Chain A
Amino acid sequence: MAKANQKGSSPKTFYWILGVVAVLGIGAIALAAMGGDSGMVTEPIELSDVGDAAALLERARGIAIGDENAPIKMLVFSDFQCPGCKHWALQVEAPLKADLVESGQVQLVYYDFPLSGHPHSFIVSRAARCANDQGKFWEYHDLAFAQQEQWSYSRTTPTDLLIEYAQTVGLDMGQFRSCLESDAHAETVTANQMLGAQLGVRGTPTVFVNGRQLQNWNDFQAAKAEIQAMTGASAGATTGT
């Protein structure tokens, strides 16, 4: 380089290189700016033919865990971007699953209820359902809630983080990516949201226990006691608490 510095170099080649780098770089940035999230659905879609409850029920789809013949059925309407839902999912629902669901007393069914003020809630619901396609909804659900602060404040769609979580829970990445970067499950998530609205859900989390709304959703023991009271004390009988 020292020798070249002494002699100097061809400015023509230099300007050519500068030009090529500039054109390629600006072109790539322009493509990225225009391409963005094309094809990836990040918000609720228009649904037709869902005027009556029966039609909506056909389109809505919960994700269940536990014995389908369990005496207690819990419907959970939740929003991945809601801090209260994170508390519910990790502090209350998790021990409930380990206790009442594992023992066969409760079947828990998850429904999406992305609130309009949460810009990333819908896409995370879709991502979790893409994970569900590979049988790992609950793993993804737990991780997305655990990492809520990481993606929740993103100014843009947190696609890369959602992909990273998929990798963490061990999904087939090709399948997950093509699911996420499409409109897959957009209809179901929208239908779930509409179903919740028809059932009177106004905020999240909203939990129905055999059709009645659970009030003490923010404390495991209180929730369990209320479930026992609502269902004739059948819940918790096996654990004696």
Chain B
Amino acid sequence: MERMTEPDAGPPLNRMIAAVLALIGVLISTYMLLYHFGVIGSIVCGTGGCQTVQNSPWAKFMGVPVPLIGLLGYGAFFVTALLGTRPGAAADRRIAAVLIAGAVIGAAFTVYLTYLEMYVINAWCRWCIGSAIVAGLLLVAVIPELARLRRSTP
């Protein structure tokens, strides 16, 4: 039986979409981080929710500002997705595995943060919701990676 390989006609669409989404995540995290460190004096939020969330004890996770975790996470995901768009990288199992793991961990962390907003802090930050939407879409965007993982298995 012939082994299935990814045609090399161009970068996989799902990885390109994932890269764009991760870049949006990087930008949101950067904005929140600049506000966290006081570089940006006032956050555009529409309500006071962003300030409430950012000023709460849950603005840090194990001592690390949550926006910094977001920036590093989305940044790593962006680089991986970008590497996955190189010619010949479509069949690379390591990239598929990292994208799946990254999206799942990111979504789990987002669920935790959204839970905090809803039940503990009792405030909604629109930028956090934006990031949660990005994390959810990333989870959808990596679904084709599951097939890629299976296909690449000898």
Contact = CB atoms under 8 A, between A and B. Distances in A.
* B: interface residue count bin: 35 or more
A18 B20 contact: yes
Contacts of A157: 41-42
Given A2-B144, A32-B31, A18 B23 contact: yes
A33 B39 contact: yes
B131 to A, nearest CB: 13
A110 to B, nearest CB: 24
A7 B7 contact: yes
A29 B48 contact: no
Interface in B10-34: 10-14, 16, 19-20, 23-24, 27, 30-31, 34
Interface stretch (B50-58, B97-105, B106-114): B50-58
Contacts of B43: 156, 160
A36 interface: yes
Nearest to B26: A25
25 contacts: A1-B13, A1-B144, A7-B7, A8-B9, A9-B11, A11-B85, A14-B11, A17-B16, A21-B20, A21-B23, A25-B24, A25-B27, A29-B30, A29-B40, A32-B40, A36-B40, A36-B41, A37-B41, A158-B51, A159-B51, A160-B48, A161-B51, A162-B48, A164-B47, A165-B48
Given A156-B41, A161-B51, 10 more contacts: A2-B144, A18-B20, A25-B27, A154-B55, A156-B42, A158-B48, A158-B55, A160-B45, A161-B48, A163-B48
Interface of A: 1-2, 4-11, 14, 17-18, 21-22, 25-26, 28-29, 32-33, 36-37, 150-151, 153-165
